[in-house]
Amino acid sequence: MERSQWGTRAGFIMAAVGSAIGLGNIWRFPYVAYENGGGAFFIPYLFALLTAGIPILILEFTIGHKYRGSAPLSFFRMSGKKAEWIGWWAVFVSFVISVYYAVIIAWAMRYTIFSFNQAWGEDTEGFLFNDFLQLNAVPGQTGEIVWGIFIPLALVWIITLGILLAGVKKGIEMANRIFIPTLVVIFLIVVVRALTLDGAMVGLDAFFRPNFDAIMDPSVWVAAYGHIFFSLSVAFAIMITYSSYLPKKSDITNNAFITGFANSSFELLAGIGVFAALGFMANQAGVPVSEVATAGVGLAFVVFPQIINEFPGFNGFFGVLFFLSLTLAGLTSLMSITETYVAGISEKFGLSRTKAVAFGGGLAALISILFATQGGLFFLDLADYYINQFGVAAVGLVEVVMVVWVLRKADTLQSHANSISDIHLGAWWKVSLGVITPIVLGYMMFGLLKLNIL
C-alpha cells in the first residue's frame, strides 16, 4: 500500500500548527504566564521553547520523515524491538488524552449554543456543576448518561473520525486548511473586542507586569518546560506520525521553527485577549484582577460566561465566537492525537485506515462516554492529573535519553535533517536534546515523585 502524503507544504504546516494550537493555548497559557512571573515568564518560556520545544519538534519531524512510519514503526525501524516500545508508550498516552480532550471540546460546543441566550443564567458556577455536569446527582443516579453532554460528544467524535476516514490529504489537511484560518480570524475578533472593553488595560497590566524574582524560582522553569511540551504537542508521537506523511524533499528544520513560533504567537494573542477580558470583569466587579484570574474549566466555563453576562450591548456574539474558537482549536488537536494511534495500530496489525479508525477511534469514543455521565468530571480530573504527571514528562525524558544516549542516533538524525533543510543544526541542537532537556525533565520527574509521596 502506498503511504499517504500531504498535498502541500502549507498543508502540513497547517496540520502541525493545528495540533499545537489547542485548548492549552487559550485556557492554560495565559494563567500559567500570569502565575509564574507575568512579563518575566517570557524568559524561561523562550528558553524552554528554544532548548526543548523546537529541538524536540525537529527531532520528531526528522524521525517521522526518515523512518516513514507512525511512532512505533519509526522507532522499530530506527533500532528494532528495543526502541519500539517508546512509540507504543507515547501512543498509549495519546489515546488516554484523546478520550478526555474530546469531552472538553463537547462542553465548548454546547456552550457555543448556550451563548446565544446566556442559558447559564446568573450563577454560572452552579449552572456548570449542578445543571450541566449534574455533579449533585442523587446517589443511585450517579453514572447515568447526561444527554446534554452526550450529544455534542457524539458529534465531536463523528466529525473527528469522519475527517480521519477521509485520509491524510483529503481529510486532515483539508480540515486544517479550513479550520485554522477560520480560527485565527474568529479569535482575532474576540481579542480586538476584548481590548476595547473598559478595564482591558488593567488586565493587560496584570498579565505583563514582570516579577523578576519569579525567575529565580525553579518551579517557574518547570512550569515553562511543562507548558511548552503540552502546547507544542511534543512527546506524544503526534509529530512523528504527521511528518511521516511528508514528501521526501521537505525542509523539516524550517517547518519546526514555523510551527513553534506560530503556536507561541497564538498563545501570546490568547494571553492578551483573556487578560483584557479578565480586566473588564475585575473592573465590573470592583475587585483586583487576581480575584478573577484562573485557568482551565473555571476560566472557560465559569468566568467567561460571567464576562459574557456583563457584556455591554449584544452579548451573545462574543460568547459564540469565544466558544467556537475553543471548539475549533480543540478539534484540530483531537484529530492529530487520534491519528497517532489510528496510524500505529493500522501499521502494526496491517489494518486498512477504515478499520483502524473504527477500532481505535471507536474504542476511544466509547470510553469517553464515561465522562458524559453524572460524576464524569471526577474521572476527568483523575485522568488529567496522572497523564500530566507521568505521561508527558516521562515520555519526553525517555525519548531524548534513548535516542541520544542509549541508541546513539543523534548524529544520524542530525545529518538527515541537515541534508534536506536550509537551517543547519549544530551543537545547539545536540546539547539541548542530550543535556539541557534531560536535566530539566529529570528534575521535573523527581520533583513530581516527591509531590506524590507527600
**Smallest gap from residue 92 Cβ to ligand PHE (A):** 13
Return the range that interacts with ligand PHE (CB under 6 A); candidates 21-29, 280-288, 347-355, 359-367.
21-29
Cβ proximity to ligand PHE: between 36 and 333 the closer is: 333
Nearest 5°: the CA angle 197, 198, 201 is: 90
For residue 23, state whether it binds ligand PHE (rule: CB under 6 A). yes
CB of 140 to ligand PHE, least distance (A): 36
Task: Report 227-256 residues binding ligand PHE (CB under 6 A).
Answer: 230-231, 233, 236, 238
Scanning residues 122 to 151, which ones bind ligand PHE (CB under 6 A)?
none
CB of 157 to ligand PHE, least distance (A): 15
SS3 for 250? coil
The CA distance from 336 to 164, in Å, is 9
- Of 17-25, 152-160, 344-352, 420-428, the segment contacting ligand PHE by CB under 6 A is 17-25
**Binding residues for ligand PHE restricted to 298-337, rule: CB under 6 A:** 333, 336-337
Helix, strand and coil percent figures for the chain, each rounded to 5: 80, 0, 20
CB of 231 to ligand PHE, least distance (A): 4
DSSP 28-55: IHHHHHHHTTGGGGHHHHHHHIIIIIHH
Among 16, 58, 73, 97, binds ligand PHE (CB under 6 A): 97
Q: Does 52 bind ligand PHE (CB under 6 A)?
A: no
Please state, in angstroms and rounded to a whole number, the distance separating the CA atoms of residues 258 and 133: 39
Number of residues that bind ligand PHE (CB under 6 A): 15
Radius of gyration of the chain (CA): 21
Residue 421 vs 437, nearer CB to ligand PHE: 437
CA-CA distance, 372 to 151, in Å (whole number)? Answer: 9
DSSP letter at 390 equals I
Q: How far is CA 64 from CA 223, 238, 243, 298, 318, in A?
A: 28, 10, 5, 37, 40
Q: According to CB under 6 A, which one of 13, 20, 228, 278 is a site residue for ligand PHE? A: 20
Which part of the chain contacts ligand PHE (CB under 6 A), choosing from 22-30, 76-84, 170-178, 434-442?
A: 22-30
Report the half-sphere exposure of 49 (CA within 13 A, side-chain side). Answer: 20
Nearer to ligand PHE among residue 24 and residue 30 (C-beta): 24
**Separation CA 25–CA 13 (nearest Å):** 17
Q: Nearest CA to 251 among 416, 68, 409?
A: 416
Contacts of 138 (CB under 8 A, 6+ apart): none
Closer CB to ligand PHE, residue 384 or residue 409?
Answer: 384
Instruction: Return the residue of 16, 25, 156, 299 that touches ligand PHE, per CB under 6 A.
Output: 25
> Contact with ligand PHE (CB under 6 A): which of 11, 24, 37, 375?
24
Q: Residues interacting with ligand PHE, by CB under 6 A?
A: 19-20, 22-25, 97, 230-231, 233, 236, 238, 333, 336-337
